[in-house]
Structure 1
Amino acid sequence: MESTWYLFPGQTLANTKISDRSHALHIRSKEWGKITSHLDRKKLKEQAIQREREHKQYLDDGSKRMIQNWENSLENIRKRKEEERLKHKEQKKEDRNQKFFELREEQEKIRKDYVDKMRKQIYMNTGNARELTSAFVTSEILYEREKQKDFKKLIDKHYEEEAAKYAQVVKENAEKELLENREKELKKRKKNKDHGDYLKQEIAQKSLRQQEEKQKQTEKEALDNIRAMEEMECLEKKLLEKKAKNMQELFGEKKKLLKQEEEKKIQLAKEESELDAVVAIYKETKHRIDCMKKAREKELRDEAAARQEAVAKLVMAHEKAKTEVEEERMKAAIAEKDAIEKKKLKKRAEYDKKMKEERFEDRKKFIEHEEVANKKQAEIRKWEMLNRYKTDEILKKYEESKRKQHWKKVLEYRKELLEQMSEEKALLLQEKEIEEFVTRSNFHNDDDSFFEYADEVLKLAKKRGRSTYPIEKVIMQYKKTNLLLPDKCEDNCENYITSKEAKSMSQQIFKKSQKNKNDRSCRCRQEEKKSVSN
């Protein structure tokens, strides 16, 4: 490996800069590969890893191919377990579905039974079946009422027996109480007698004690009165002495007060005399001051009046001079204004004359223009009249054609409506026939249901031992309402049973009577007809 500088012709290493020279490196490829091998280091590592991975994959594939037919290999064991798990899962799913279907069938059955039950209950509580239910309830009520009456009689009998027993007990207790009261009365009388004797003794002793105490009290009161009199006399003496002493003290104080009053009066008189002297002096001084004040005010008023008079004279003179100047100015202004007005009037007269001439000319031109316009307008009106006539003719033709078309459409629409009406009538007739057929079939079904329920109610009432009269009454009423009873037989019909005597007809007889509904004769006549036909 070596490096060399390349120079252009005429250049040497001495006379050229390093930046102007070309430098080259000569190296072998092996050594160059060693130098640049670090640049491909990542790529080489990846290639080595890839080779290792491919080798492992080759070994793994070979191992799998080797053991794929072994029964006890992990893969095959795992597959068998997975298949068993899936099979078990499917079996559980089938079992669950089977249980679900069984449960659904059971629920459907329960639902159906419940729906039938509810329908039966609804049927029992609606329409004619409700009347049967009410009749059955009435029979139950009658039965309960009879039982209640029996029970009430039993209760009344029991109450009577209890009342008799109670009366006997009360009577015995009253007799016992009477005997006890007599004994108590005797004891009470004896006790009261003993108590009365004791009270008499106590009263006698008490009266003696009271007399002794009263005597002692009188003696004590006499002594107290004597002592009180002595104390009163002593007290009166002391009061008199005290009163005399007080009178003396009051007399001395009164003297002192009178002396003080006299001194005060003398002092007041002296002060009043001094005050009167001062007031007189003040009054005289005030009078002199007022006189001086009034004189000064008069002098000031006179001076002010003189000044005002002088000022007024000056003002009057000034105003007079000013007024004269103003009058002169006004006269000059009026003269000037009159001259201006005269000039304006002259100009206005000239202007009016000119305008009058122009107005006459304009009027003449306007009249000429109006004549031309009137001629044009007359021509236009003539053409408009012609156009109107032509337009009216065209409009009449158009309206006539339009009216014909409208009438044609009306006739077509009427025809369609008549066809629709005929079709609707046919449909209505058909629907009416269908409705009558359905109604007849519904009547048969309703009758079957009613008589089936009636037989059930009758059996239940008979089983319970209840009265069947209300139920039979409802059945007969239903037959009368729905025209299910045969007409009345003749007098020679011995087998006919009236509605009052008849019991409930069975459902089978009712069905037989429905085979020929138009035959309204009684059953005996129907049997005769059958025998004749046979």
Structure 2
Amino acid sequence: MVNKNQQVQSKIRTFYYLEPGQKLSSTKISERKLMLIAPRSEYKRLVDYTNQSERMTVVAEKERAKLAAIRKATYEMSKHWNNTNENVKRRRRAELLAKRKQEDEIRARFAKEIAEQNAAEREKVVEEARRLLLYKKPLCRLLNGALLTSECFRERDAQLAFEKTLRGVDEEQEKEYAKILKQEAEDFEEAERRKAAEREKKNRAYGEELKKQIDDDRNNLKRADREEYLMGRQDLINMAREIREIKECEDEQVGVNYNYTLHTTGL
């Protein structure tokens, strides 16, 4: 540590020096030039201090270039992203321009259609005005009257011919309709005959089937009665045989008992 009363000697010193041709005895002090002597570190510190603004400018330029490079790299990396502010703004701008262009096209097309309609209506009005002016001329009126009369006669002849044609068509239609009705009646009668024949055939088959069923039932009933009769007869035969066997057993038992009695009594 340095004491407060101790003076710190600077490493930078100044000396007077003489140029070639000057002598120490004949050269005044004011005519002598000073020479600054400093260590390399001190000299560098002084140079850095004097060039600090320039160095700061260089550092700032480097930082600015670095930031520009980072910004450019960031833009190149994110220029295809859809959620970046720049791309969102660009997309909105493109959508707005497309919408405005579409509206301009619709407006131009509508104006063109209106102009065409106005031109067509104007042409129609002009044509109607020309026709009215033409009809007002005497010769034109005379020709129009003659044409109207001729058209009336032609229309009347056409109406008469049409009525005649209608009468012929009505007669043909009535004949055709009568023919159709006759054919439909014949078809209906034929269908009814077929249905009646089918019903008769079905009824006959049903009657035969019913008769066969009745005969089968009668035969089955006779067979059942005969079987029941035979079974009853067999039951009677079996009962008679059992009664006879029981009686024979009883007679044998009576004989055995009699012999046993005689044997026990000694007779």
The TM-score by the shorter chain falls in which range? Answer: 0.3 to 0.5
Q: Which has the higher contact order (CA 8 A, sep 6+)?
A: 1
Q: TM-score, normalised by structure 2?
A: 0.40
TM-score by length of 1: 0.22
Bigger share in helix: 1
Larger radius of gyration: 1
